[in-house]
Structure 1
Amino acid sequence: MSRPLELVFLWHMHQPDYRDHSSGEFLLPWVYLHALKDYSDMAYHLEQHPQVRVTVNYVPVLLDQLEDYVQQFATGQIRDTLLRLLVRENLNDLDEPERDLVLTSCFRSNHHNMVAPYPAYKRMSELYKLLEPGGSAGFDYLSGTYFSDLLTWYHLAWCGESVRREHDLVIRLMSKHEGFSYTDRKGLFDLIGQVIAGIIPRYRKLAETGQIELSTTPHYHPLAPLLMDMNSAKEAMPEVSLPQSQCYSGGKSRVEAHVFSAIKSHEKRFGATPGGIWPAEGAVSASFLEVLAAQKCRWSASGEGVLANSLLAAGGHMPDRAHFLYRPYRVQGAASSMCCFFRDDRLSDLIGFEYSRWNGKDAALHFVTQLESIAELAPAGETPVVSVILDGENAWEYYPYNGYHFFTDLYSTLQLHSTIRTTTFCGYVDRLDSVEGSGDLAREGELHRLVAGSWVYGNFSTWIGSPDKNRAWDLLCIAKQSYDMVMASGLLNEVERRDAEKQLASCESSDWFWWFGDYNPGHAVSSFDRLYRINLMHLYRCLKLPVPASLDVSISQGGGSAETGGTMRRAS
């Protein structure tokens, strides 16, 4: 008989702020598309398997945008161009920028799973590729009917599998294939609004029933250790080249503001204080954990590489991972009141990158077999706790049917398994803290020193160290110096000060630095480069300062072909 094991899934839901706050327009559509496809499907699988326990992490800036879309649908004041075009009655009069937007956006999906299976959509893709060498002149031959069908199919393909199965409209439109009317498009538009409006209430209900734990991340997803001390990058990368600025002024107070705002956001939306915080990018340092502990955070988590680096730095040898990975840790010092968990990088990456190519049932059984092996290798008398932490939104378009069969088989197997127990981080800590429950759990480890790092490679190389990433940091540091001077001057009124602080927070997101680099796809780098500079420009306007000419110059070119389009990274 298999030995017992505790399993914690943490599904991390995050999108950066895609709004141009000077106009209110959404410049990229990923929030509403992932709501339609992934946030809806992930809730559905949990609703269908009520015995499965997981932790779901929602970043507040994503929730801000979801609520923004709900308001747009409620008022009819749509500030997303693709959505506006979906319900424009006459698509024969698109101007050139509108045509270009539809054509460059509506084939930007996983072709194998989201375009090729649908003959009408595939034909439109082939026609686009045929005309593309001719540029905009060639596209003049495309009719309003082509654009109507293309916008419809793009949104149909982004419907989650659960949305397709629960709404006859989606199946009816897919069966129609082409020639979609305004009424068809309006019906799809209304369905999208309905799905988005249900996201936050569905997850809140799952939390209130006790099936899931909802955790949070500092509000705008900042790379907290680097904001607090850029030199923390040297702990795992002693030879790293740092930005010229070397320091982000007032970084600790900025991180504290993100944490405090996230907690208040969580309480407002979900009616409870979050028990734990998943740091942006799993990025931790000893000083950052102290900030979390000061807010009475009960748990946090990071990557396996951070734990390995920390154990090696303490002078210890590295035992087999079965003897160090599958237990909670406490870091000596001010953060010792908090439990730290470290993700199983191999299992997490199997779901994120490998199982999409497997049969769903085979992948689910393989995953469970891996867990059973971990249980058998655990130290005598210990029940291991396995942390599987990954992106909860970007992987599934690489799975057939958006991972529907994989999750159905995985959750069905787990909820019936006799020795694998799914739990949440707070649920585990509750039992760890109780006298009765602690005996059958993994022995707590102690870290005398925590080496700063993230869930990617155990270091910060994804966000700092290369010329373009460092330039982006320098632009932010210069803007922060201007911010500090204007705030100290007293020239802004209270509303203007709040607007400037909110805009600064958006500029502090880790996502901008993630995308800079020649290993990322050029179109994605270009989009995020532009959006980052737009954010910085608007910050200067909020401060009533001239916009520096340096912000007119692109930061990074990209041009690589990163796995999964660069939206995720393997841990090693």
Structure 2
Amino acid sequence: MINQPKLLISLYWHMHQPDYRDSISGEYVLPWTYLHAIKDYSDMAYHLEMNPKAKVSFNFVPILLDQLEDYAEQFKTGRVKDPILKLLSTNDLWVITPEERRLIKDSCFKSYHEKMLKPFPDYERLYKMYEFLTEDGRDDLIYLSGQYLADLLVWYHLAWMGESVRQNNVLVQHLMSKGKKFTNEDRMALYDLVGELIGDLIPRYRKLAETGQIEISSTPHYHPILPLLLDFETTHDAMSNAILPKTANYPGGAARAIDHLKDATASHKSRFGMEPKGMWPSEGAVSKESLLLMANQGVQWAASGEGVLANSLRKSNPKKALVSRHDYLYKPYKVSNGEDSITCFFRDDRLSDKIGFEYSKLHSSEAVNDFIQTLEHIYNTYQRQENPVVSVILDGENAWEYYPYNGHYFLTELYEALANHPNIEMVTQSEVLKMIEAPSKTPYKVHCGTLSEISAGSWVYGSFSTWIGSVDKNYGWDLLCEAKKAYDKVLKSGKLSADERHKAENQLSVCEGSDWFWWLGDYNAAMSVSSFDQLYRRNLMNLYRLLKLPIPEHLNASISMGDSKAANDSNSGTMRRGQE
């Protein structure tokens, strides 16, 4: 077709970690926030800095940003609240406690070994020594020296270091070349580098946003699933036979949803100098009520999964057969009630999941060629005098450890291919909105559809099955509902001071996050389930402590056991495909 309109691609990377802090002690229970910071958040900024022609969107969940700022403050003040970081900077590892020795052993081999341990012979040698001392059920770790622990701590952080840092930082190159017998000075230098990387992150992304190269969106502050806070019954839109929690609905859910939205807007403005135009609803979870609530709070655009769009089209036109995905997927849709409206983008599940699950197994050039050829096929067969809008949306942090070199060569080649393709234009969601709202001021023509109904669901399978509907997940919700009722009763009594109310509200917000329910269930790896199960119950216990109430005895019992055979499953449960 002559003068066929360009294909517009919106790459949208979602960055999220739940709050890993114990609210009472302030100590970090798990290290994933700072490890992803030095690896993935650093690398993802670097790729945009190295290719100014590339343009993408990032979603940063406010509770992740809270933790990044907290870590930066720890390095400034020297009051370290993460036990692994504290041990990295501990002067004498020969005299640490047995509990600290076990923490190093239990923590410092947690990674995808194929790409993050085996490529480093000195690190792998430490692992083989550990295996020898623990084979046949033995526990002879007392024989591990302080030097062994020092080397293990250094290699753990080197393995989690971003490839952009490895290739450009002299200290990291020196330590990797040295390989063993790391000194206290080596460890302190590495510790300082971790602090520098974390402290620079938010300013780096803000600078990229100010140049217009990226758009940064937000998420309800503590990552709750808004549709479920509003109404458990929305589960039945995509799961008609699902069993729901015993509690009919989450108490006061609408008010809590608004609080999360307002807090997110304030967080974004304080960090990036402006309110977010768009939001990624936690887990891409939407209902018509939640979308209109977001619109009422000033959010202009949101995004979700392809399954939600297909189900919503069926719900909007129940007597009309669904046409080919090619005919409905590649455009945004408006949702309105006559007063408030919001524009929704829906991810191409196939393309998004190729990056998340398939391309890590291919050579970078082969993977990029496949991606570009898929886009070219969409472009060549679209057959309309309007620009197709392809939304590729996925986790921006957990996929890369399964790629060689943390996805460095894949992302470098992908951005270069997209930025220089004659028939493809990289865009942000807000740019697409401008094309729709002011067509006379742009060479692009984007058609925006309308959805009269929304079938509630998420980016995972188009349903809420990952967070509700099983025995374990429902019990997790019932525990939260029980705690919320206690919270409401205490606040109504007026027994707490303003500061105590604030701390209790923050703790409730942590408990409302989606991650706890994600991990509950017998299909997840047992070790991960145990970590998140314990942290969720710990958070609920801390809420009762802050409310000055007795802790219910049943919170001492595990909610979910997980599957001991699931440990080696694809991506270890940190990501899920859009379609089953």
TM-score (normalised: structure 2): 0.97
2:58 is matched with which residue? 56
| In 2: Cα distance, 1:137 partner to 1:514 partner | 33
1:435 is matched with which residue? 439
| In 2: Cα distance, 1:274 partner to 1:379 partner | 34
Question: 1:478 and 2:500 equivalent?
Answer: no
What is the one-letter code of the residue matched to 2:391? S
The DSSP-based 3-state class of the residue aligned with 1:170 is: helix
Shift of 1:290: 1.1
Q: What do residues 210-256 of structure 1 show as CA deviations (whole Å, max 9, x unaligned)?
A: 10001000000001100100000011111000011121010011000
| In 2: Cα distance, 1:206 partner to 1:552 partner | 46
2:29 is matched with which residue? 27
Q: What do residues 543-568 of structure 1 show as CA deviations (whole Å, max 9, x unaligned)?
A: 11111111100111112234201000
| In 1: Cα distance, 2:541 partner to 2:376 partner | 53
Consecutive unaligned residues of structure 1, counting only runs of 5 or more, are none
Trace 1:33-72 onto structure 2 (pairs within 5 A).
Answer: 33-72=35-74
What is the one-letter code of the residue matched to 1:571? G
Trace 1:12-411 onto structure 2 (pairs within 5 A).
Answer: 12-133=14-135, 137-313=139-315, 314-315=317-318, 316-334=320-338, 337-411=341-415
Shift of 1:134: 5.7
Is residue 5–residue 386 contact of structure 2 (8 Å, CA) maintained in 1?
A: no
2:463 is matched with which residue? 459
Q: What do residues 169-219 of structure 1 show as CA deviations (whole Å, max 9, x unaligned)?
A: 001000111000000000000000000000000000000011000100000
Shift of 1:133: 3.2
2:572 is matched with which residue? 565
| In 2: Cα distance, 1:382 partner to 1:434 partner | 15
The DSSP-based 3-state class of the residue aligned with 1:140 is: helix
Shift of 1:332: 3.9
What is the one-letter code of the residue matched to 1:287? E
Instruction: Check 1:155–1:515 CA distance in 2 against 1; reply closer, same or farther (3 A cut).
Output: same
What is the one-letter code of the residue matched to 1:266? H
The DSSP-based 3-state class of the residue aligned with 1:189 is: helix
Shift of 1:335: 7.1
What is the one-letter code of the residue matched to 1:265? S
| In 2: Cα distance, 1:113 partner to 1:228 partner | 42
What is the one-letter code of the residue matched to 2:119? P
The DSSP-based 3-state class of the residue aligned with 1:331 is: strand
1:522 is matched with which residue? 526
Is residue 57–residue 214 contact of structure 2 (8 Å, CA) maintained in 1?
A: yes
What is the one-letter code of the residue matched to 2:571? T
Is residue 293–residue 334 contact of structure 1 (8 Å, CA) maintained in 2?
A: no
Percent identity over the alignment? 53
Shift of 1:311: 1.1
| In 2: Cα distance, 1:96 partner to 1:134 partner | 21
2:491 is matched with which residue? 487
What is the one-letter code of the residue matched to 1:419? N
Shift of 1:442: 3.1
2:553 is matched with which residue? 549
The DSSP-based 3-state class of the residue aligned with 2:215 is: strand
Q: What do residues 293-330 of structure 1 show as CA deviations (whole Å, max 9, x unaligned)?
A: 10121101100000001111221211111100000101
Instruction: Check 1:320–1:442 CA distance in 2 against 1; reply closer, same or farther (3 A cut).
Output: farther
What is the one-letter code of the residue matched to 1:145? Q
| In 2: Cα distance, 1:463 partner to 1:229 partner | 14
Is residue 230–residue 242 contact of structure 1 (8 Å, CA) maintained in 2?
A: yes
Stretch of structure 1 that moved more, 44-53 or 377-386: 377-386
Shift of 1:342: 0.4
| In 2: Cα distance, 1:137 partner to 1:424 partner | 53
| In 2: Cα distance, 1:488 partner to 1:21 partner | 23
Consecutive unaligned residues of structure 2, counting only runs of 5 or more, are none
Count of matched residue pairs? 572
The DSSP-based 3-state class of the residue aligned with 1:461 is: coil
2:535 to 531, 538, 545: 531
| In 2: Cα distance, 1:438 partner to 1:534 partner | 53
| In 2: Cα distance, 1:136 partner to 1:88 partner | 28
TM-score (normalised: structure 1): 0.98
